[in-house]
Amino acid sequence: MDKFVIEGDRQLTGRARVSGSKNAALPIMAAVLAADGPLQLSAVPDLADVHSLLRLLETLGVHAERPAENQLDLVVETTQPHVADYDLVRRMRASICVLGPLLARRGRACVSLPGGCNIGHRPIDLHLKGLAALGADIRVERGYVIAQATRLRGTSLFLGGPYGSTVTGTCNVMTAATLAEGRTVIEAAACEPEVVDLGNCLRQLGAKIEGLGTPRIEIDGVDRLGTAQHRVIPDRIETATLMIAAAITGGHIEITPVRPDHLVAVCEVLERTGVRIERSTGDDGLPALVATAPAALVATTLTALPYPGIPTDVQAQLMALLCRAEGISVVTDKVFPDRFLHAAELVRLGARIVREGPTAVIHGVPRLSGANVMASDLRASAALVLAGLAAEGTTTVRRIYHLDRGYQRLDEKLNRLGGQVTRSDDRPGPAPPHRAGDPRKHARRLATNG
Ligand code: UD1
């Protein structure tokens, strides 16, 4: 298990390259299970969640090759396996993305329930409701979802839940519906760019899909999906994290390649705190965003919402930023109302945060000071790293494996910008030997105490 040791209080300045989107790459990779031909992907990020899904896909009969860095060629070699085992699924919740494509192409799927998670209760009832509406026979037994259908049938279905739409649920149902008989209409579909990217890849494979990026997606089922070459969109969450790195360290970072249209809400809230955001073109000719910190950050109020709102996946990083902003900020998460484990760790760095249900109230402080902190989940670790970059002194962030799940070598990227982040092994050493007291003194103490 690795940890980061961060020497803080350094301005981050320069150019940074963003990797392909993790959350787009995962359901796209899983979609190969629904296709007959090879799927050639580029801009696939090299990170732990991608490796976990590759291991799972291999057990499901997929052959994978990496012809070059960030490229991935996938092809189904055998369609017999249909069991996604607990030992692989428990490593990553997004493994549930194999359910829809397996069921649609192989007629049966047996996928372990992903289990609990540190960012809150994460049911998959909407995934199951959507697939059942397509005619699948679904039951949950011994911790596994067992789904069967000779051929799925298109229908109209509503996928909204108490916290809005579901991203991976929309991915599962949309992919399954591409091979269903007839027309499927998904109402309250997720509009996230990662769902659109999956939809575009499915279209290249031969699927007929309209309405991507809107809450109403219409799919006309086809008999088979063929082959495709697809480039994964840039990671908007990594882009936002790097913009916040510039803002929190008083720095200036040009980030490329980016999709500014995916980051409108994030740019707007950063501008409210005083950060200057400019669009430009990077050295490589690709669209870039340049974030420049203000002399002093200003407090603000924000709410994480489904797209196009501020992403819940940037809530923790924005909270880290607001710890340094003058005044009182209010942060609410309406997607995962319990996603606040990072708040207590930010307090260890000197932040002043009070939580009230799905809301945190942050009193900005002039300085943070380095300390030992523990990462609880992927985006919480990013928030702690950002706070550590801005803090005076040394910050040690433990359980960095959470960060490695979703960021491709973030330490190296930050160091190229002037950060001082050292990765090292965090295996606990042997506990110091327990020194037994002097037996004569112990006997005297017993005698005097009666
Ligand atoms: C995806 C992202 C994750 C992001 C989240 C919200 C991937 C791999 N992960 O997760 O990084 O934080 O979207 O943008 O893309 N819900 C239900 N029932 C369901 C499914 C979800 O009630 O069947 C609830 C969840 O508990 C949550 C909300 O709906 O409160 C949104 O969850 P969802 O969009 O499904 O998140 P994921 O797809 O798991």
Which mutation among 47, 119, 166 tests ligand 1's pocket best, with the greatest number of atoms within 8 A of CB? 166
> How many Å lie between the centroid of ligand 1 and the Cα of residue 93?
10
Beta strand 228-231 with 39-42 is parallel
Least confident of 50-64, 77-91, 226-240, 379-393: 77-91
94 lines ligand 1 (CB under 6 A): yes
Q: How far apart are CA 389 and CA 248, in angstroms?
A: 8
Measured CA to CA, the distance from residue 215 to residue 203 in angstroms comes to: 18
Assign 381 to helix, strand or coil.
Answer: helix
**Would you call 117 a catalytic residue per the annotation?**
yes
Give me 157's structure tokens.
């279905």
8 Å CB contact between 73 and 64: yes
Per the CB < 8 A criterion, the answer to whether 57 and 111 are in contact is no
User: Is residue 124 lining ligand 1, measured as CB closer than 6 Å?
Assistant: yes
Distance 69 CA to ligand 1 centre (A): 29
| Atom number, ligand 1, closest to the C-alpha of residue 307 | 14
Sorting pLDDT into bands at 50, 70 and 90, what band is 19? very high
| Tens of pLDDT, residues 111-140 | 999 866 677 778 999 999 999 999 999 999
* 84 membership: H or E segment, kind and range: strand 83-84
Q: Which residues contact 418 (CB under 8 A, 6 or more apart)?
A: 10, 11, 12, 13, 14, 251
Total Cβ atoms within 10 A of residue 66: 12
What are the tens digits of pLDDT across the range 287-316?
Answer: 999 999 999 999 999 999 999 999 999 999
* Tokens (6 digits) for 406: 């979703």
Task: Please give the mean pLDDT across all residues of the chain.
Answer: 94
Give the rounded distance of the alpha carbon of 135 from its chain centre: 31
pLDDT at 351: 98
Where residue 447 falls among pLDDT bands split at 50, 70, 90?
Answer: low
Of 97, 110, 117, 323, the active-site residue reads 117
Ligand 1 centroid distance, CA of 139 (Å)? 21
Q: Is 223 exposed, middle or buried (0-12, 13-18, 19+ CB in 10 A)?
A: exposed
Distance CA 310, CA 291 (A): 17
> Does the CB atom of residue 126 touch ligand 1 within 6 A?
yes
pLDDT band at 159 (very low <50, low <70, confident <90, very high): very high
DSSP 20: B
Residue 335 near ligand 1, beta carbon < 6 Å: yes
Calpha distance 413→242 (Å, rounded): 9
